[in-house]
Amino acid sequence: MAIDATEAAGVAGSDGRPGGGSDAPDAGVGSPAPHGPEAWGEGLGYPEWIEGTMPAMHAAFNGMNKYLSVPALRMGLGRFMSTPVTGYLMILRTRGRKSGEMRDAPLGYMVIGDAVYCLAGFGTKTHWYRNILADPRVEVLLPGRSFSGIAEEVTDRDERRKVLPALVKSMGVVASGFGLGNPYKQSAEETERRCAAFPLVRVRATGIAAGPEDPGGWFWVVTAVVSTWFVLRWLRIRGEKSKNCGRS
């Protein structure tokens, strides 16, 4: 699971419209990784071995998000995917700053007080982060509920120091793998230092958003698959019983 992955282009937004193609300026999946001084991971404080693989890792996360994480979360499977070890995931839905279409980004998160916090793990070049700078009105799909809200960057150092340790802990083993250290052992100041290049975003609820179980959601797919499995199993058992009766 990614600490932060850019929004999944090609995935329908909350208004039912499909995301734009890979050539969209604010698209995440399929968009070419920057090169030179704009290369993914450069100057963000990641370990050297991670910086070298960041373009490939960024592309891999985009593919995984488009075909696995986003569909699973939109089907309401987030409650089964999230654990303290693997981390917790939500969908942050932003409006593309140039396309105007809705973009879905699966992100690690933490609920503290009356707000949800997330981290832009690719720094200020993160597409969804740039989207909220243009339009802070977002939708959040948590594993158990959904809401619309206003997103804003947290610049207050005291708030960052308070939130970051809990947020990094919620990311599970992924955080340590990406060089953010062990938040259970290191100080809040050390965690803040390791996350210095990553914008921290706070989302406060302003209204209700449609969730996976609501009209337009994808939870019906889970119901259909499970129901089909039970019907096929029942037909198979019935067929085997009929065969056994015929032989006797």
Return per-residue pLDDT of the chain as tens, 248 residues: 344 444 444 343 333 333 333 334 443 333 333 433 345 556 666 666 566 666 666 666 666 666 666 777 777 776 777 778 778 888 899 999 999 998 988 899 999 999 999 999 888 988 999 999 999 999 998 888 889 999 999 999 999 999 999 999 988 887 777 778 788 889 989 999 888 889 999 999 999 887 666 666 666 676 677 778 777 877 777 777 676 676 65
**CA 30 to centroid of chain Cα atoms:** 17
Residue 108 is assigned to a structural domain of this protein: yes
Question: 205 and 99, same structural domain?
Answer: yes
Predicted local confidence at residue 16, as pLDDT: 34
Residue 5 is assigned to a structural domain of this protein: no
Question: 149 and 61, same structural domain?
Answer: yes
Question: 226 and 174, same structural domain?
Answer: no
C-beta separation of 137 from 148 below 8 A = yes
C-beta separation of 118 from 25 below 8 A = no
Per-residue DSSP letters for 108-155?
A: E-EEETTEEEEE-TTGGG-HHHHHHHH--EEEEE-SS-EEEEEEEEE-
Question: 164 and 44, same structural domain?
Answer: yes
Question: 94 and 128, same structural domain?
Answer: yes
Predicted local confidence at residue 56, as pLDDT: 64
Question: 87 and 137, same structural domain?
Answer: yes
Question: 228 and 130, same structural domain?
Answer: no
Question: Using CA atoms, how far apart are residues 102 and 28, in angstroms rounded to an integer?
Answer: 12
**CA 52 to centroid of chain Cα atoms:** 23
Question: Using CA atoms, how far apart are residues 71 and 147, in angstroms rounded to an integer?
Answer: 18
Question: 248 and 144, same structural domain?
Answer: no
Neighbours of 61 (CB within 10 A): 22
Residue 240 is assigned to a structural domain of this protein: yes
Question: Using CA atoms, how far apart are residues 100 and 26, in angstroms rounded to an integer?
Answer: 9
Question: 108 and 224, same structural domain?
Answer: no
Question: Using CA atoms, how far apart are residues 228 and 45, in angstroms rounded to an integer?
Answer: 49
Predicted local confidence at residue 38, as pLDDT: 46
Question: Residue 81 belongs to a domain with what CATH number?
Answer: 2.30.110.10
HSE-up (13 A, CA, CB side) for residue 159 = 14
Question: 46 and 108, same structural domain?
Answer: yes
Question: Using CA atoms, how far apart are residues 20 and 31, in angstroms rounded to an integer?
Answer: 11
Predicted local confidence at residue 218, as pLDDT: 63
**Residue carrying the six token digits 């909220």:** 132
C-beta separation of 35 from 230 below 8 A = no
pTM of the full predicted structure?
A: 0.68
Structure token pair of residue 44: 């963000």
**Closest of 45, 41, 44, 13 to residue 26, by C-alpha:** 13
Question: 227 and 131, same structural domain?
Answer: no
C-beta separation of 121 from 89 below 8 A = no
Q: Which residues pair with 152 in a beta bridge?
A: 202
Predicted local confidence at residue 220, as pLDDT: 63
Question: How many domains in the chain?
Answer: 2
Domain holding 225, by residue range, is 219-248
Question: Using CA atoms, how far apart are residues 8 and 91, in angstroms rounded to an integer?
Answer: 10
Question: 77 and 175, same structural domain?
Answer: yes
Structure token pair of residue 156: 């207050």
